[in-house]
Amino acid sequence: MEEAQEVVAATPMDLVTELADLCEVIDTLMAAYDIDRETVLVEQKRRQIERGGFTHRIRLLWSGAD
């Protein structure tokens, strides 16, 4: 997704702008599929509990899975 790639490549100065664009894409997708924000937040919390969050800024770059 182009907007997510722009967030990753953004300078600290441009990060807020790029995050705003990414949020716009997410909001549009949620509206198109009639998904409310609370549903997404509940799932986010569930996944944080189940798998952990990203508070340590660890990224999986490759998994070897096909």
Q: Quick one: pLDDT at residue 18? A: 92
Measured between alpha carbons, how far is 7 from 17 in angstroms, rounded to an integer?
A: 9
Cβ contacts of 10 within 8 Å, gap of 6 or more: 17, 18
**What are the boundaries of each domain within the chain?**
2-51
Q: Quick one: pLDDT at residue 31? A: 98
Per-residue tens of pLDDT for the chain, all 66 residues:
788 889 889 998 999 999 999 999 999 999 999 999 999 999 999 988 888 877 766 666 667 766
What's the token pair of residue 31?
């509206």
pTM of the predicted model, to two decimals? 0.70
Q: Quick one: pLDDT at residue 1? A: 75
